[in-house]
Chain A
Amino acid sequence: MNQPDTILDMGRISKAYAGVPALREVSFSCERGKVHALVGENGAGKSTLIKILGGAVQADSGEIRFKGRLFTHLTPRLSLDMGISIIYQELALNPYLTVAENIFLGREPNRAGVIQTRHLRQQAAELLGKLHVQIDPDAPVSELTVAKQQMVEIAKALSRNADLIVMDEPSAILVGEELEQLFKTIQSLVAHGVTIVYISHRLDEVFQIADTITVLKDGAVVGSRPREGLSHRELVQMMVGRSLEEVYPAPIGQRGEPVLVVDKISNARLKNISFTLHAGETLGIAGMVGSGRTELARAIFGADPISSGTITIKGRLVNHASPAHAIRNGMALVPEDRKAQGLFTALPIRQNITLPILNRLTRNGVLQSKRETQVVEDARHKLSISMANADQEAQFLSGGNQQKVVLAKWLETRPSVILMDEPTRGIDIGAKFEIYQLMRHLNEQGVAILMISSELPEVLGMSDRILVMRDGQLVGELPRETATEQAIIERATSGVEVS
C-alpha cells in the first residue's frame, strides 16, 4: 500500500475520551507535495486526529507511518523533529518578541550562548522572502495583523524544515485578500515539496486549494476523494447526508405586528439607525466585519448605551439601560463569541441553561432541583442537545451543542425578540441545519429574529428582508425576492476601496 510518494499514512487510528469514541479506525494518508483538505463537522474528529499527529494526544490504537518510519505514538518533540508542524487557530507567538525572535525561539543562532542578532535577522528575512511576504523581521509580533502573524507561524514551520504543515482553520481569522495571499503561499510551499493538510469549514476554499478532500463524520472517514470530479453538492452530502437545497427551510412568508421599532438611534459606533422588526419575521443584517452590526445588537440589548434615538417594544418605549432590562422586556441576545460571551464553559450545562430563569424555579428562596432537571431535560429533547448528562461542563460539548445550550437558555425566557449574532459560526453543517429549523419554528410561533451574519448564503437563505450596514449606518434594505450576494456586497462596500 505504501507508495513511494506517500509522506504520511495514519492507519486505523482509534481514540476515545472518557469512553466516548472520538475516532474509530480512521485512516488518513497524504501524498508528498499536495494539499489535503480535511473537512467535517465540529466533533467529527478532525482536531483529535491532528492532535495525535502533533503528539499532543496519544491514540488508543493504530499506527502512524511518516517518511517511511513507523510509530505507534508520537510526542510533541518527536513530531516536530520528524518535520511535522501544526499551526493552530490560536497562534502560538510571543507578542512582545520580534518576528525574527519568534521564528527562532529556542533555536536562536548563537556563538557560545550569545545570540547572533545579525544572523537571526538575516535568516528570518530569507525565510519571509521565500514566502513572498513583506514583514519586517524586527517588528514586534503584536504590531502585525493576524494574517501576517500567521505568515510568521508558517516561516517558523519552515525554519524547522517542516515537510508537513497542518493548518487548522487558517481562514477563520482572515479576510478578503489575506486569504488570497495565504493561498499563494500554500501554492509556493507545495511547489517546493512541502505537504499541506488544510482544515476548514468553508467548502468554497477547500475546492479552491485542495488536491484531495477527506471527509470525517462522527469519528470515521466517510470518504477520501480527489477534488477533480467532486461536486460541491456531493461534498455537502458526504458531510451531512443531506442535500444543499434542504439546508435552508423556506420562510413562513407572512409577518405579524411590529414588535421592535428602532428609531434614529446613535452612539459612538452607530449613526441614526431606524428599522422595524415584525412578529414572525427573520430580519437579516449583513455588512463587513466592523460595520457596526454587533454594536447595533448590543445597543438594542442595553449592553452598550445609546446617545440618542428611541427603542420601542410592542408600543412601549424601552431604551434599555442594561441587558437585565432588555430580558425583562422579552429580548434575548445570542452573542457572536460563544465561548467568551454566550456560555459559562466551566459550569455544568444545567447551570448554563437555567441561569436567567432561576427565580421561576425557586420556591421560598430555595431552588427546586427536580423542576430544574425537568427544564433541562425538556430543552435537551426539544433541541436534541447531545450531552452525557446535565452536570457535564459546557466546555466538553461540540460547537453546535454549545450553541444549542445558549439557545436553550434563551428559549426558557420565552422571548418575543431574539437577536442572533453569527448564530452558526464555527458550527458543523448538521447543527446549522437544526438551528435553521429552530429559527423557522420560532418564526411560526411569532418570535421575531434579528440575524447578523457574515455568511451570505445564510443571510439570503434565512432572511425575509435584509438590511445592509456600512460604517455604523444602514445603507440599504433588500427584499428576499430580489436580494443577491452581489447586491449585498455592493452596498456593504461601496465608497470603500475594494481590493
Chain B
Amino acid sequence: MVLGATSSTAHTLRRFVVQYGVYVSLGLLLIAALILTPNLFSEQTLTVLLKQSAQLGIIAIGQTLTLLVAGLDLSVGGVIFMTSVIIARVSNGVDSALPLAIGLSFLFSAVIGLANGLLITKRRIPPFVATLAIFILVQGAVQAYTRGVPGGFVPEGLSVVNQSAGFISIPVVLWVVLTALFVFVLRKTPFGRRLYAVGSNADTASLSGLNVDRFKIAAYILCSLLACVSGVVLTGYVGYVDRFIASGLDLDAIAAAVVGGTLFTGGRGSVLSTMAGVLLIQILSTMALLLGLSIQTQFIIKGVVILAAVALYSLARTD
C-alpha cells in the first residue's frame, strides 16, 4: 500500500494548496521583499501600504460575500463615488454635519444594495448585468446631482483617518475589526452557514427551508455598506471629491477575493483568505514601485499573479 500512501499525500497537498496556498504565497512574497526591497518595511512605506490595503480590503470583504452567493457586485465604485459626493455636499466642510452625511451615505448605499439584490433575485437578472447597470445608473445620477461640478468640501474632521500610531492607522484597525467580525459571522452564526448553503446550491437550500432570495439580498446590502465604509475612509484619505476615486479598486477587490481562493460559482471562500489576497496584491504593487518598474509592468505582474492563483487552485481542485 505504498502507492496508496503517496496518493494520500497528493490529496493532502491539494487540500493544503486550496486552504493555505494564499498564506504561503504571502509568506514567500514577504521573504522576497526582505531581500529585493527591504525598504518596503520602512515605517513610511508600510503605513501607506497598509492604509491602501485597508481601503481595498474593506471592499473585498463585501465582494467576498457576493461571490459566496454565486454573484458579484460591480456597483461598488458607484457607491464609493456617491459616498464622497454626499459627504462633501451635505457637510460642506462642517465637522458637526459629518454624522448626518455618513448616515445618509449608509442609507443610500443600503438602498443600492437592496436594488442590486432585488434585480438579481426577483427579476432574475444576472449579477454581472444588474450590478453593472446599477453602477452606471448611480454614476449618472450622482453626476446629474452635482451637474458635473464636484462641489462642497470634505470636513477636516474626516482626516482623522490619516492619523496613525506607527504603521497602524484607523482604516487598518477598521479593516482588521471588520474582517474578524465577518470571519466570526460566516463560521459561527446560522446566518453565515446559511449564506454558504445558499451559494453552494440554491435549490437544496430552498427545499431545506431557507428563503434563498433574502440571503442573496442581504449579501448585496452588506457589500454596498462595506463599500460605503471604504468610501468614507477614501474620502478622508483623498480629501476631495473625485469621480475616479474608486477606479480600479472595484475590480481589484474581486481579484483579491479570487486570489484568496473564493470561487465564482459560490459557496466557497473566506474573508480571511481574501485579506491575504489583498495584502498579496498590494505588496506586489508596492514592490514593483520600489523596484522602479513602470506602471504598465505592474499591471502585467498583477494579471499574471491572478491567473497563476486561479490556475493553481483549479489544478488543486481537480483530482
Contacts and interface: CB of A to CB of B under 8 A. Distances in A.
Are A and B bound to each other?
yes
A496 to B, nearest CB: 30
A409 B201 CA distance: 15
Nearest to B201: A344
B211 A322 contact: yes
A346 B204 CA distance: 12
A114 interface: no
B42 to A, nearest CB: 41
Contacts of B208: 323, 327, 355-356, 409
Contacts of A20: 4
Given A341-B204, A346-B268, A359-B190, A19 B197 contact: no
A260 interface: no
A409 to B, nearest CB: 7
Contacts of B211: 322, 324
Contacts of A344: 196-197, 200-201, 204-205, 267
Contacts of A346: 200-201, 267-268
A356 B205 CA distance: 9
Q: Is the contact region of chain B dominated by helix, strand, or loop, or is it mixed? A: helix
A409 B209 CA distance: 12
Residue among A14, A16, A61 facing the most chain B CB atoms (10 A cut-off): A16
A175 interface: no
A60 interface: yes
B209 A324 contact: yes
Nearest to A14: B3
Contacts of B124: none
Interface string A10-23: 00001011111100
Contacts of B209: 322-324, 326-328, 356
Interface residues of A, number: 38
Interface string B216-246: 0000000000000000000000000000000
Given A324-B209, A344-B267, A17 B201 contact: no
Interface in B194-212: 194, 196-197, 200-201, 203-211
B206 A19 contact: no
A455 B1 CA distance: 40
A283 B209 CA distance: 24
B159 to A, nearest CB: 36
Interface string A346-384: 110001001110110010011100000000000000000
Contact of A60 (B7, B187, B193): B7
A345 interface: yes
Interface string B173-203: 0000000000000011110011011001101
A296 B206 CA distance: 17
A340 interface: yes
Contacts of A341: 201, 203-204, 207
A147 B212 CA distance: 35
Interface in A34-89: 60-61
B207 A367 contact: no
Contact of B207 (A17, A61, A323, A328): A323
B300 interface: no
Nearest to A345: B201
Contacts of A18: 7-8, 11-12
A17 B3 contact: no
A280 interface: no
B5 interface: yes
Contacts of A196: none
Contact of A16 (B8, B12, B193, B206): B8
A186 interface: no
Size category of the binding interface on chain B? 20 to 34
Given A16-B7, A60-B4, A365-B189, A355 B194 contact: yes
B5 to A, nearest CB: 6
Contacts of A362: 189-190
Contacts of B200: 344-347
A359 to B, nearest CB: 6
Contacts of B188: 366-367
A344 B210 CA distance: 13
B317 to A, nearest CB: 10
Interface string B48-90: 0000000000000000000000000000000000000000000
Contacts of B190: 358-359, 362, 367
B1 to A, nearest CB: 7
Contact of A324 (B7, B8, B210): B210
Interface string A322-345: 111011100001010000111111
Contact of A351 (B1, B7, B193): B193
A19 B4 contact: yes
B207 A343 contact: no
B193 to A, nearest CB: 6
A322 B205 CA distance: 12
Given A19-B11, A60-B7, A346-B267, A323 B206 contact: yes
Interface in A1-30: 14, 16-21
A303 interface: yes
B306 to A, nearest CB: 22
A19 B196 CA distance: 29
Nearest to A350: B193
Interface string B307-319: 0000000000001
Given A60-B4, A333-B207, A366-B188, A347 B197 contact: yes
B204 A19 contact: no
A165 B211 CA distance: 46
B196 A17 contact: no
Contacts of A322: 209, 211
Given A61-B3, A324-B211, A367-B190, A342 B204 contact: yes
Nearest to B2: A60
B315 to A, nearest CB: 16
A61 B211 CA distance: 50
Contacts of B7: 16-19, 60
Contact of B8 (A19, A301, A409): A19
A151 B187 CA distance: 48
Nearest to A322: B211
23 contacts: A18-B7, A18-B8, A19-B7, A60-B3, A303-B207, A323-B207, A324-B210, A327-B209, A335-B207, A340-B201, A341-B207, A343-B204, A344-B201, A344-B204, A346-B200, A354-B193, A355-B193, A355-B194, A355-B205, A358-B194, A362-B190, A367-B188, A367-B190
**Shortest 6 CB-CB contacts between residues of A and residues of B:** A19-B8, A16-B4, A60-B3, A18-B11, A358-B190, A324-B209
Interface of A: 14, 16-21, 60-61, 301, 303, 322-324, 326-328, 333, 335, 340-347, 351, 354-356, 358-359, 362, 365-367, 409
Given A19-B5, A344-B197, 19 more contacts: A18-B8, A19-B4, A20-B4, A21-B1, A60-B3, A301-B207, A324-B209, A324-B210, A333-B207, A335-B207, A340-B203, A342-B204, A344-B204, A347-B267, A355-B205, A356-B208, A358-B190, A367-B190, A367-B193
